[in-house]
Amino acid sequence: MTATVGVVGLGVMGGRIAGRLLDSGYPVVGTNRTPERAAPLVQRGLLWRDTPRHVAAAADVVLSSVADDAALDAVATGADGVLAGLRPGTVYADMSTASPQVSQGLAQRVRRLGAEMLDAPVSGSAPQAEAGQLTIMVGGAERAYERVLPVLRKLGSVVRIGENGQGLLLKLAINISLAEQIVAFGEGVLLAERGGIDRRLAVDVMTASAIGSPLLKGRAPLVVDPTGPVWFDIALMQKDLGLALDAARQLGVPLPTTAAANDLLTLARRLGYERRDIASVHEVLADVADER
């Protein structure tokens, strides 16, 4: 029998995850804070439920994808939260990038209900979610991981990292590099551009060189044309850097370049770039240069 999958949070990532599972033949029930965002998915076969509790009650596997710790608490707890609807034996995999400590606390509460919780954050943006090419890092009990593995494999490559919270810790480690790469790339493009080199030419040559990581190649069109789509905005990026810096303080790990990138993102938000894609760091640096 095919497991019924519940998806809580049908935004940029959650909506594409639900769509991918529908295309893979899974029965999918879902909910979102703003119901109108789910309308295209309902037309494709998603079964709408009014609350996370109702989604959890109808599903064998529950996935959630929300913005931050506050949003995770809002969908998971309370009278209408996921935990209120979980049945014994259900697996709840949260795919958000949240605090490892917050996720571990929720996992303990889920276990007391006779269910299991995994943290399963993803690396990748909207195009990878649509194509089933996400990298998914899972923390939690191995038996729960094995049960949810067939579902997660429809979304990308999957690896169990360790116990609850460790999938999230590795995701934060990845996002440190993500932020620092995009900042360094923006600096390099601006240096070339202000020296008289065409921006598109600089971007093309740089991404074809030894520094041309998949991240930079994917963001290159948004550096050339900053008016493009927003896949991962500056506010969310800074949220992740804050979580990484918090984890580093607890573990006694110095993160000097992460702190510098975080300072730049603070400036970006002050300049009004909060909801722009992280590729707009190049524009932020240009604004700073123009003010000097």
Categorize the per-residue pLDDT at 228 as very low, low, confident or very high, splitting at 50, 70 and 90. confident
**Model pLDDT, residue 24:** 96
CB 253 within 8 A of CB 169: no
Pairing state between β 116-119 and 5-8: unpaired
The answer to whether residue 1 scores a pLDDT higher than 80 is: no
pLDDT at 290: 95
The structure tokens 């604004």 sit at 287
When pLDDT is averaged across residues 233-238 and rounded to a whole number, the result is 96
pLDDT(292) > 90: no
Q: Examine the residue annotation and report whether 217 is marked as an active-site residue of this protein.
A: no
Query: What CA dihedral angle connects 86, 167, 102 and 260, to 10 degrees?
Result: -150
What is the average per-residue pLDDT within 169-181? 97
For a pLDDT cut of 70, what percent of the chain falls above it?
100
User: Is 109 within 8 Å of 134 (Cβ atoms)?
Assistant: no
Stretch 167-195: mean pLDDT: 98
What global pTM score does this model have?
Answer: 0.93
Residue 281 token pair: 């760091």
CA–CA gap between residue 28 and residue 2 (Å, rounded): 11
Distance (Å, rounded) from C-alpha 161 to C-alpha 169?
9
Which of 154, 171, 217, 239 is flagged as catalytic?
171
Per-residue confidence (pLDDT) for residue 213, from 0 to 100: 96
Domains of the chain: 5-162 (3.40.50.720), 169-291 (1.10.1040.10)
In the chain, % of residues over pLDDT 90: 96
